[in-house]
Amino acid sequence: MSINLGQIAALLKGEIIGDPQCTITGIAPIEQALEGQITLAEKGSGLKRINMTQASAVIVPQGFTDSQHNLIQVANPRVAFAMMLDHFNPATAPAKGRHPAAVIGKDCILGQDIAVAAGVIIGDRVSLGDRVILHPNVVIGDNVTIGDDTIVYPNASILERCVVGHRVIINAGSVIGSDGFGFVFNQGCHYKIPQIGIVQIDDDVEIGANNTIDRATIGKTWIKTGVKLDNQVHIAHNVVIGEHAIIVGQVGIAGSTTIGRHVIIAGQAGVGGHLTIGNEVTIGPQAAVAQSVPDKQIVSGTTLAMPHGLWLRLQKVLPDLPNLSKKLNRLEKQVSRLIINKSHES
């Protein structure tokens, strides 16, 4: 696969400095790129190393000209680099149509140009949009609806009645619509509460590998437009995640919590149930969030989440706590002696 810089500039809506006929056959990191490849120098150290690369062309920010290489100036170099990765490494997909080893139930509506791979099982009354891709061993339950251009990777399951939007990516091993964890203690036993709701996933959501998104007890667990979930994330029943939130690996969110728009939750954080996390909140790694958080706050801490500034001050104090404890004990003894002496004098 090859493309010249003029074509790349048109694709990226960028400006060329250099030879528009230069042929590019691949993409590589700046330290490893060779002649015929294009690379990225986004800022800082990358721009400083630009003349050390052997790449034939470099994607750079607008206004940058200080280089002996062919340049493509763009508004957002990282987005442009991602587009080049897509161009040179197009995603593989099963052949269009239905594989003979797939099982499709009755009364299904199948869109145009779909790909259903070997081992796929589709229940009854399922609706698949146009250009949907189901990789091997995907399971789709009864009455599921999936929108156009959605991709479901191997061994993922979308269980009964769940709704998935357009351009959604569900990575391998994820389960959409597993039972919510609902029990009531009765006469010494845990009585199971039926989980009769659904999961709704809106457009342009990406769900990582081995995620578990529980169906609602009643109503819906709702993943809104543009949300990105990393691998091994657990979303409990009746959780609502707002538009364009980012949830990093191994995060757990307990039931009936609402997450706002543009929230970032870092790895291994845990968010308690029945809370409200405001818009544009950032939650640090391993934080334990046990109370609601207002809009635009940053909270962190590996024990109990607190205002980020307070947590930073606490980190300065923690290493000196043993010495502070000794000083405090010594001061308490001195005060006790002073009190005793004072009482004797009186």
Question: How is residue 277 written in tokens?
Answer: 């996390």
Measured CA to CA, the distance from residue 285 to residue 269 in angstroms comes to: 5
Give Cβ neighbours of residue 207 (< 8 Å, ≥ 6 apart).
168, 169, 170, 171, 174, 176, 201, 213, 223, 229
* pLDDT tens over the chain, length 346 residues: 789 999 999 999 999 999 999 999 999 999 999 999 999 998 888 888 898 999 999 999 999 988 889 999 999 999 999 999 999 988 888 889 999 999 999 999 999 999 999 999 999 999 999 999 999 999 999 999 999 999 999 999 999 999 999 999 999 999 999 999 999 999 999 999 999 999 999 999 999 999 999 999 999 999 999 999 999 999 999 999 999 999 999 999 999 999 999 999 999 999 999 999 999 999 999 999 999 999 999 999 876 778 888 888 888 888 888 899 999 999 999 998 888 887 777 6
The Cα–Cα gap between 274 and 239 comes to 9
Q: Which amino acid is at 223?
A: I
Given a contact cutoff of 8 angstroms between Cβ atoms, the answer to whether 296 and 281 are in contact is yes
pLDDT of residue 114: 97
Domains belonging to the chain, first-starting first, are 3-88 (3.40.1390.10), 97-309 (2.160.10.10)
Question: Residue 338 has what pLDDT?
Answer: 87
CA–CA gap between residue 136 and residue 325 (Å, rounded): 61
Both ends of the chain: CA-CA distance in Å? 97
Query: Are the beta carbons of 35 and 88 closer than 8 angstroms?
Result: no
Active-site residues, by number, are 237
How many other C-beta atoms can be found within 10 angstroms of the C-beta atom of residue 330? 10
CA dist 60 and 266 (Å) reads 29
Cβ-based burial of 322 (10 A; exposed 0-12, middle 13-18, buried ≥19): exposed
Instruction: Please tell me the distance from the alpha carbon of residue 152 to that of residue 162, in angstroms, as a whole number.
Output: 14
Dihedral over Cα of 27, 28, 34, 39: its sign: positive
List, as one string, the DSSP characters of 170-205: E-TT-EEEEPP--EEEETTEEEEPP---EEEE-TT-
From the list 56, 87, 52, the residue with the least C-alpha distance to 70 is 56
Residue 268 and residue 171: Cα distance in Å, rounded? 19
